[in-house]
Each structure stands twice: as structure tokens, then as C-alpha cells.
């Protein structure tokens, strides 16, 4: 009975497979080839545009004008070869490849003999490559053969099918076979001999593709194959291949808001290997030569725009070829750009042209890539000519705002940012009201990256984010809920349970990294927030990062404690959330001893649940909950000694404003007279050790090197001769209360003393003896010399 059911099931499956196979051939025969199907689709879309049909939501008049400027692409008169009609696979060949497919599905082929089986099967495809590759069922079997064969059989297949590669690439099923063949080539690039074979096969394919490149670019299937071919010739690794086909919006946004100029493609191009530069340049030149007459149509076509974008990304860094390519896409000649400037005639032609580009999704995406990869000399001209004047209008546009984001994030000099700030700086309110916070965030990132207009931006943003009646208390709440605030500005209330705006949170994080004068209104806004609003902010992923940035900012310790106190009673709840645990850790670092005890006690209450989470063990270790459980008094004593050592270190080396940290009750408070003596001894507290770290309490108890201003310096543990700066006319001497004339600039530093300082700075934790060595010269080890300076005064060498 079971055998009968199994036989009937097999017959039914075979019958359905044949039915699908025949139906597929009927559909293909109806249109002859998939290339003709794509041509019909292209003509159909074109007719819709001429009939004023707005299917894609773009202005149809613009498309009509663009099509009228250049004659439509004549597919029939293409320079490529004529595509043959689809032929049905003969039954005997179909049966053979069905047996091969069953052989692979049953795993009856050993890995040792698999290349031989695949090579023998590929021999049967000779002269029938096109028919087999475009067959719905056999094409999958052919893909398996191309993946499992040796390089010699693979190159043989590509050479014999090269003349039909263009037709194969634009076919629904053949395109998958073509891409599989290209990816298999990349896997075989191991030695010089294999590279020569691969380059020969690629060059032959590029010659055929170049002759019919316009048709391939406009095909949804051919576009993908052509992009893979470009990447393979450039040497892009397979794992990075998808990045040149599809880029996630979140990745683009992260690049634009980072501290480096946005340069798409360069990250992946740093790892290129086994590239074929001559073949790549040949293919790029063929694309530009055949596309220049139809460029106004190709840049508004979705799939051809994809190819042009990938080509520009792959050319990043090659300024000469990139300049030629961008000028071609702009519809200009080489003579239009003389001595790094556009000619007057070209300026008149390009003036206002940007408004045409932004009206179409495909061309706007292409323009984004153009401004991101443009060489600096061309970027200058694009900024001053192409984008001069209508930046606010473009920024408020549905597609144009992304172009402005790319333009701002690609700024390379302060002059570029100054030019952008003059046009967009006074209009931050209009941009936020229009729902374009991405443009505002990009301006902030560019200002911070190039260190210009940061304070002006922070002031303008605070004014744009709230009205006079709610200033400054409403700044942070409004930016956290950017969307809802600008919808109902007049009667806005805190929306309970709403997710906080991502870009608003990112801007606040960046603002808190700025100077104290710029962040003062924002700090006042945070401290004035209600306790339940602070708690809801801490629970949100973006809001928690804002609080962390606030706790790492230049805000006074008193202001930080005021915010931390509002979270009292909720630290255990917050620690159970992955994002909230970071906020709890920052609160612990920035707290005084009593608040540290309160936080540790609340976290201890949820220790069983917290230890089961992924982030829990890290937080328990950072707060030393085990030590707190075992001996609370010892735990408290350790943190008191850490705070005392840190406070003494600040009194000696740090900023006077940082010495006013609330001391624990059990630790001695430095008197005002003693503090004045210490400040006098250190040159009125102006000697600073500079570092890029935030001004926060160190969790590990080691002395941090405090940032002394705008100047960057070396990391802790790598003290150089310029790390300690002295006020003019003062010198710092151990156990000396008298000021001495400043040391001469050519005085040599004591190598032994610098070595001792460097050794202390490299330690993760300082023992009591180390602290005494640092602050008390009487216990300085073997060299017990009173009055030994940190930097000994040496006689001048003649």
C-alpha cells in the first residue's frame, strides 16, 4: 500500500514538473526573449510618461522634458548583436540534466569526484549554453555545475558562451547562471596562473558586454549582472559584494554622522585583492562611451542608475578617471572643466540643473553618490555653482534633502562648512518644522568634525527647538520628541510611552560633547526635567545614550547628582534592560559614595535576575556587587580611597573647577588654605595633563588624565616632553612653596623621573605606595632625596 502511494506521488510530481516546464517555454516564446520583455516594459513606461501618467509618483512633465531633450533609446539599433529566439531544449538533453539534478539532490556524488562529474556535464552544454541557461529548471542544475567544476571547465564554458553573454544576462533565469559563473571565477583566484585564465575570460566577456551595455543597464536582471562584473574586475571581495548592490539607509546615516567624511566604497576598496585594472578601466570606458549620448535618460532610469552609482563607488580614489566619469554624467565635456574650474558657458548650463536632478528618485540617488565621491577640486565647483542659492529649497524636498545631507557630510575644509552654514544656518527652525532633521544633524556632524561654527550651531538649535516661553527647559524634551513637538507646538505635552526620535537623540549626544558655554542651556534643560520624564528617557534606547552623554559632559558634579537622584529607586529596574544597564553604570561612575551605595543596593536586589541576562555579569563586575555583598564597609572604604586619590590628583594636576567634588564624610576634606598652597605650588592650578577622555570619575580607581581644553594630546601611559604645560614664569618643584623662573626651552628633562611617571600612568590600578610615590617625594623608593623635582633642572649644554 505504501509503495503504491509513493509511486502515485512520484508520477504526480513528475507530471506537475513537466507542466511547469512547458508553461515556462510558452511564456518565453510569447515574448521571444526576456530582453524583448524588458524592452516592451521600457517602452510601456515611456508611453505612460508621454501620456502624462504619473505611475511612480514623480512629476510627469519633468520626465517628458527629459525624454524630449534626447531621443529615446533605440533598442533595435543597438550596437550589440541580435538576440536569437529562445529555443526549446530537446527532450534527450533535458532528460540528461534531470538525471544530473537527481544525482546531486540524492548526495550520491562524493566531493572527490564532484569536479569531474561537473566538468563532464558542462561538456554536454557546448553549443547549447543559451538554451540551457535560460531554462527555468535546467538553469538551477547549471548553477550547481558551475559552482562545483574546476577553473579550466569554468573558463571553457564562459569562452564558448561569451558571444551570448549579453542575452543571458538580461534573462530572468540566465542572469542567475551568469552571476554564479562570475562568483565562481572569484573563488578560483589563487595563483598567478589562475589569474591569467580568469583575466582572459573576463576581458572577452567585457568586450561583448560593452557593445550592448545600454540594453544591459536598463534591464532589471542585466543591471545586477553588470554590477557584479564591475566588482569582480575591481577585485572586491565576495563578502563585500552586496554592499555595492544595496546599501542600508541606517549604514548611510551612520557614515554621514560620523567623524570622517563620507566616502562610499572606500572602506570595501581597502581590502581589494586580485583586481584586473586594465579590464576594469576598459569596461568603465565602454560604459561611458555608449552611455554619453543617452545620459539624460539613463540617469533617470532605476536600473541604469544603479550601475552608474556602483561604477562611481568603485572609482573612488582614482581622481582622474572619476573626474571624467562625473563630467560625463553631468552632460559636460572635458573642455568644460579648465584649470579646476567650470567655464562660464558650463556654469550657465548647470545653473538650476540641480532642481531637475532632485525630481526623480533614481537621479537623486546618483547625485548623492556624485557629491560623496567627487574629488576636492570638483566638489568646490559643485558647491559654488551647482548648489549655490537653492540649498534651503533642496533641503526641504522629498529627495533633495538626502542630497544636501551627502553634500554636507562630504565637506572637506572649513571653507566648505562656512559656505553651507551661511545658507542653512539661519534656517534650522524651518528644516526641523519641515521634518528634515537629517540635514540639521549632518550640519552638526560636519561642524564638529572640522571644528567650526559649533557654538553657533548649538545656540541656533536651542532657539529652534523651543519658544521663548519654554526656554531653556523645553530644549531637551522637544529634541527627544522631535516629531510630535513640531506637529502640535502650541499645546505640546510630554507623550508618555512614545519612542524617542533617533536623530534628536543623536544631536543631543553630539551637543553634550561640545564646550561648556555651548551646552549650558542644554544642561539646564536636563536638570529641570521631572523625575518620571528622566526615568522614561533612561528606559529608551536613544534617551539612555543622551543621559550617558550628559553624565560625561562638562556639567558640574552637583548638576549630575541632581539628575542621578531622580532615578533613585529605579536603578534595579533599569539594570535589567540591556540599554539601561549602561546608564546605571554611568550613574555609578559619576556619583558620590552615598549614591554609589544606594545604586549597589538596588542592583543587589535584582542580582538573581540580572545574572541570567547577557549584560548582567559585566554590570555586576563593574559595580563589584560581590564585594559589596561580602563586606559593605570594605567596599565603601575602597571607593572612598579611590575618590580621595582622584581628588588629590585633580588638586595637583587638574582643573580647579574639578576639585570641588563632594568629599565623602569619612575622608578628610582639603582645607581652603591647603588648596591655595597646592594651587600656588602648581602654578595656580594651570598645569594640566591633557587627554581625550571624558571628565568622569574612573570606575577602576586609577587617575585619569583630564582633558585640558581643545588641544589633543597623547594617551595615558605615553607621556611625552610636551605633555605637561606650565604657565609662563612658573615651575613645579616637589616640596617647594616658592616660585622660580620658568625653565628654558632647551632644558633637558630627567629621563628617570619621566620613566617613573610613565610607569605609574601605565598601571591599571595604583597601590597605596604608588599614590605616596606620586604625591610624597619622601617615599620615592631608592632615591630618597628631598626637594627632587618632577622635571629636574639640568645645566645648559654648550
Residue 726: inside a domain, yes or no? yes
Coil, helix or strand at residue 533: helix
| pLDDT tens digit sequence for 81-112 | 344 456 788 899 999 999 999 988 888 777 88
- 725, with CB counted inside 10 A (0-12, 13-18, 19+), is middle
Judgement on whether residues 65 and 88 belong to the same structural domain of the protein: no
Judgement on whether residues 266 and 173 belong to the same structural domain of the protein: no
The answer on pLDDT for 668 being more than 90 is no
Judgement on whether residues 56 and 145 belong to the same structural domain of the protein: no
Judgement on whether residues 359 and 441 belong to the same structural domain of the protein: yes
Which residue range(s) make up the domain with 706?
Answer: 658-779
The answer on pLDDT for 317 being more than 50 is yes
Beta-carbon contacts of residue 229 (< 8 Å; ≥ 6 apart): 182, 202, 205, 206, 209, 283
Under the banding of pLDDT at 50, 70 and 90, the label for residue 32 is very low
Contact 628, 604 (CB under 8 A): yes
167 half-sphere exposure, CB direction, 13 A CA radius? 20
Which of 452, 472, 487 is a domain's end point?
452
The answer on pLDDT for 694 being more than 80 is no
Judgement on whether residues 259 and 155 belong to the same structural domain of the protein: no
Phi-psi region of 439 (alpha: psi -120 to 50; beta: other; left: phi over 0): alpha
18 prior amide bond cis, ω within 30? no
Residue 225: inside a domain, yes or no? no
Residue 535's nearest CA partner among 494, 474, 487, 594 is 494
The answer on pLDDT for 665 being more than 80 is no
The CA distance from 164 to 126, in Å, is 12
Judgement on whether residues 183 and 286 belong to the same structural domain of the protein: no
Contact 707, 692 (CB under 8 A): yes
The CA distance from 46 to 43, in Å, is 5
Q: How far is CA 93 from the centre of its chain?
A: 50
**pLDDT, position 389:** 79
How confident is the model over 735-744, as a mean pLDDT? 39
Say whether pTM exceeds 0.85: no
How confident is the model over 761-785, as a mean pLDDT? 53
Residue 473: inside a domain, yes or no? no
The answer on pLDDT for 544 being more than 60 is yes
Of residues 622 and 84, which shows the higher confidence score?
Answer: 622
Contact 368, 397 (CB under 8 A): no
Which of 34, 69, 104 is a domain's end point?
69
Contact 392, 427 (CB under 8 A): yes
C-alpha distances in angstroms, 354 versus 326, 349, 390, 400? Answer: 14, 11, 9, 9
Residue 381: inside a domain, yes or no? yes
Judgement on whether residues 326 and 448 belong to the same structural domain of the protein: yes
Q: At what angle do helices 632-653 and 768-775 cross, to 10 degrees?
A: 20
**pLDDT, position 244:** 63
**pLDDT, position 443:** 95
The answer on pLDDT for 752 being more than 70 is no
Judgement on whether residues 60 and 119 belong to the same structural domain of the protein: no
| pLDDT tens digit sequence for 142-190 | 999 999 999 999 999 999 999 999 999 999 999 999 999 999 998 888 6
Judgement on whether residues 260 and 403 belong to the same structural domain of the protein: yes
Residue 396: inside a domain, yes or no? yes
533 half-sphere exposure, CB direction, 13 A CA radius? 18
Under the banding of pLDDT at 50, 70 and 90, the label for residue 794 is very low
Which of 211, 237, 256 is a domain's end point?
211
How confident is the model over 423-436, as a mean pLDDT? 94
The number of distinct structural domains making up the chain is 4
Residue 481: inside a domain, yes or no? no
Residue 541: inside a domain, yes or no? no
Minimum mean pLDDT among 309-313, 350-354, 621-625: which range? 350-354
Judgement on whether residues 413 and 270 belong to the same structural domain of the protein: yes
Under the banding of pLDDT at 50, 70 and 90, the label for residue 798 is very low
| pLDDT tens digit sequence for 210-260 | 999 999 999 999 999 999 999 999 988 776 766 666 666 666 777 777 665
Judgement on whether residues 766 and 665 belong to the same structural domain of the protein: yes
Backbone φ and ψ for 41, nearest 5 degrees, come out as -65, -40
**pLDDT, position 168:** 94
Residue 623: inside a domain, yes or no? no
What is the average pLDDT score of the chain? 76
| pLDDT tens digit sequence for 9-20 | 445 445 554 444
Minimum mean pLDDT among 40-49, 193-202, 387-396, 538-547: which range? 40-49
Judgement on whether residues 51 and 93 belong to the same structural domain of the protein: no
Amino acid at each position: 500500500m505504501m509503495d503504491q502511494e509513493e509511486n502515485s506521488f512520484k508520477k504526480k510530481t513528475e507530471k506537475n514538473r513537466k507542466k511547469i516546464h512547458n508553461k515556462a517555454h510558452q511564456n518565453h516564446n510569447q515574448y521571444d526573449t526576456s530582453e524583448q520583455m524588458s524592452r516592451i516594459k521600457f517602452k510601456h513606461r515611456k508611453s505612460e510618461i508621454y501620456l502624462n501618467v504619473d505611475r511612480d509618483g514623480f512629476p510627469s512633465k519633468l520626465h517628458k522634458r527629459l525624454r524630449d531633450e534626447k531621443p529615446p533609446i533605440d533598442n533595435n539599433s543597438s550596437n550589440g548583436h541580435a538576440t536569437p529566439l529562445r529555443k526549446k531544449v530537446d527532450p534527450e538533453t533535458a532528460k540528461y540534466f534531470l538525471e544530473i539534478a537527481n544525482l546531486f539532490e540524492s548526495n550520491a556524488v562524493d566531493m572527490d569526484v564532484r569536479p569531474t562529474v561537473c566538468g563532464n556535464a558542462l561538456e554536454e552544454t557546448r553549443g547549447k549554453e543559451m538554451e540551457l541557461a535560460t531554462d527555468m529548471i535546467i538553469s538551477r542544475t547549471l548553477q550547481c555545475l558551475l559552482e562545483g567544476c574546476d577553473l579550466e571547465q569554468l573558463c571553457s564554458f564562459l569562452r564558448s558562451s561569451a558571444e551570448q553573454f549579453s542575452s543571458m544576462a538580461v534573462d530572468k533565469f540566465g542572469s542567475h547562471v551568469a552571476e554564479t559563473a562570475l562568483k565562481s571565477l572569484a573563488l578560483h583566484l589563487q595563483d598567478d596562473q589562475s589569474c591569467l585564465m580568469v583575466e582572459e575570460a573576463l576581458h572577452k566577456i567585457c568586450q561583448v558586454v560593452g557593445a550592448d551595455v545600454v540594453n544591459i543597464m536598463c534591464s532589471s536582471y542585466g543591471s545586477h549582472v553588470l554590477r557584479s562584473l564591475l566588482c569582480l574586475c575591481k577585485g572586491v571581495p565576495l563578502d563585500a559584494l552586496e554592499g555595492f548592490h544595496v546599501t542600508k539607509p541606517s549604514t548611510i546615516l551612520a557614515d554621514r554622522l560620523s567623524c570622517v567624511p563620507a566616502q562610499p566604497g572606500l572602506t570595501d576598496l581597502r581590502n581589494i585583492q586580485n583586481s584586473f585594472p586594465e579590464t576594469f578601466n576598459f569596461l568603465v570606458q565602454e560604459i561611458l562611451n555608449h552611455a554619453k549620448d543617452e545620459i539624460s535618460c539613463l540617469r533617470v532610469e532605476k536600473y541604469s542608475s544603479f550601475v552608474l552609482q556602483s561604477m562611481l563607488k568603485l572609482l573612488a580614489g582614482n581622481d582622474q578617471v572619476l573626474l571624467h566619469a562625473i563630467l560625463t554624467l553631468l552632460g559636460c565635456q572635458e573642455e568644460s572643466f579648465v584649470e579646476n574650474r567650470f567655464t562660464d558657458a558650463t556654469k550657465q548650463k548647470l545653473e538650476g540643473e540641480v532642481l531637475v536632478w532632485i525630481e526623480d528618485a533614481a537621479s537623486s540617488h546618483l547625485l548623492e553618490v556624485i557629491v560623496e565621491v567627487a574629488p576636492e577640486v570638483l566638489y568646490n565647483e559643485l558647491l559654488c555653482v551647482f548648489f549655490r542659492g537653492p540649498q534651503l529649497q533642496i533641503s526641504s524636498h522629498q529627495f533633495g534633502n538626502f542630497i544636501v545631507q551627502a553634500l554636507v557630510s562630504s565637506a572637506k575644509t572649513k571653507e566648505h562648512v562656512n559656505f553651507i552654514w551661511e545658507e542653512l544656518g539661519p534656517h534650522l527652525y524651518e528644516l526641523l518644522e519641515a521634518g528634515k532633521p537629517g540635514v540639521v544633524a549632518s550640519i552638526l556632524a560636519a561642524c564638529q568634525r572640522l571644528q567650526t561654527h559649533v557654538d553657533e550651531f548649538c545656540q541656533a538649535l536651542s532657539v529652534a527647538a523651543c519658544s521663548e516661553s519654554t526656554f531653556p527647559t523645553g530644549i531637551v524634551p522637544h529634541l527627544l520628541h522631535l516629531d510630535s513637538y513640531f506637529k502640535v507646538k502650541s499645546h505640546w505635552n510630554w507623550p508618555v510611552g512614545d519612542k524617542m526620535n533617533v536623530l534628536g537623540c543623536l544631536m543631543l549626544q553630539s551637543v553634550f560633547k561640545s564646550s561648556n558655554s555651548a551646552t549650558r542651556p542644554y544642561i539646564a534643560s536636563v536638570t529641570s526635567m521631572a523625575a518620571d520624564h528622566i526615568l522614561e528617557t533612561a528606559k529608551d534606547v536613544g534617551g539612555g545614550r543622551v543621559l550617558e552623554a550628559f553624565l560625561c559632559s562638562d556639567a558640574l558634579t552637583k548638576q549630575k547628582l541632581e539628575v542621578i537622584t531622580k532615578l533613585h529607586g529605579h536603578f534595579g529596574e533599569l539594570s535589567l534592560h540591556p540599554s539601561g544597564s549602561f546608564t546605571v553604570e554611568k550613574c555609578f561612575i559619576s556619583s558620590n559614595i552615598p549614591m554609589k551605595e544606594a545604586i549597589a543596593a538596588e542592583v543587589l536586589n535584582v542580582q538573581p535576575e540580572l545574572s541570567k541576562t547577557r549584560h548582567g555579569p559585566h554590570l555586576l563586575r563593574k559595580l563589584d556587587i560581590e564585594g559589596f555583598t561580602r563586606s559593605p564597609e570594605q567596599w565603601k572604604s575602597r571607593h572612598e580611597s579611590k575618590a580621595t586619590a582622584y581628588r588629590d590628583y585633580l588638586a595637583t594636576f587638574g582643573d580647579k573647577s574639578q576639585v570641588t567634588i563632594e568629599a565623602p564624610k569619612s575622608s578628610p576634606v582639603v582645607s581652603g588654605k591647603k588648596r591655595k598652597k597646592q594651587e600656588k605650588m602648581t602654578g595656580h592650578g594651570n598645569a594640566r595633563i591633557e587627554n581625550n577622555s571624558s571628565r568622569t570619575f574612573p570606575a577602576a580607581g586609577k587617575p585619569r588624565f583630564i582633558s585640558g581644553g581643545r588641544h589633543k594630546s597623547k594617551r595615558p601611559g605615553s607621556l611625552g616632553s610636551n605633555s605637561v604645560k606650565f604657565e609662563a614664569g612658573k615651575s613645579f618643584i616637589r616640596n617647594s612653596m616658592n616660585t622660580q623662573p620658568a625653565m628654558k626651552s632647551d632644558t633637558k628633562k630627567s629621563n628617570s623621573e619621566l620613566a617613573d611617571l610613565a610607569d605609574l600612568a601605565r598601571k591599571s590600578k595604583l597601590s597605596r605606595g604608588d599614590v605616596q610615590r606620586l604625591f610624597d617625594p619622601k617615599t620615592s623608593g631608592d632615591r630618597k632625596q628631598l626637594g627632587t623635582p618632577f622635571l629636574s633642572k639640568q645645566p645648559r649644554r654648550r
